[in-house]
Amino acid sequence: MGKTVKLTIRLSPEDMALLKSYTAKTRLSQSAYLRKLIRGYVPKAYPPEVFFELMGKLESDGKLDGEMIEGILTLRKAVTAPEKME
């Protein structure tokens, strides 16, 4: 589905500062951040680079068994996946 509808909103300077702060932490565009919220998800802050370095080292280790791989995938999802709103 293409994005064909344009939305213009007015925000207070304080709200705009908050939006910019949140999008900077998540590394999402303002539009992507708002789309996630509309769909019921709260984006998480983007993890520090060291997280991805460690994940890469763990994943490249040839000594991983199925349980360790499952744990790595669970950890990655817990750190990066947006939270569903209740």
- SS3 string of 4-53? CCCCCCCCCHHHHHHHHHHHHHHCCCHHHHHHHHHCCEECCCCCCHHHHH
Give the H or E element holding residue 84.
strand 83-84
- Spatial distance between the Cα atoms of 85 and 54, rounded to a whole number of angstroms: 29
Each residue's pLDDT, cut to its tens digit, for the chain (86 residues) gives: 688 899 999 999 999 999 999 999 999 999 999 999 999 999 999 888 888 888 888 778 777 777 877 888 888 888 888 889 87
